[in-house]
Amino acid sequence: MAITIKNDFIDALIKFSNGRVTREQAIIIANQNLRETDFNEGSPLTHKGPRWLAKRILRSKNIID
């Protein structure tokens, strides 16, 4: 996994949570979720990007609507 994808994902978690997720929390979420994420060409993440995944995870944790 490229570091830039992970950093983009962490930044998106913080941004889209409106500061409710700290950098430390975002790093933990990234480590847990990116490890389980499919980066193959057919994956939605490939086409939609790390920001899409960040929003999806924040919604699943009821941090955003």
Tens-digit pLDDT profile for residues 16-47:
999 999 999 999 999 998 887 767 777 777 77
Asked if residue 15 has pLDDT above 90, the reply is yes
Rounded mean pLDDT of the chain? Answer: 88
pLDDT at 37: 74
Residue 33 structure tokens: 């979720």
Q: Residues 28-42, buried b or exposed e (16+ Cβ, 10 A)?
A: ebbeebbeebeeeee
pLDDT at 2: 56
Give the 3-state secondary structure of residue 49: coil
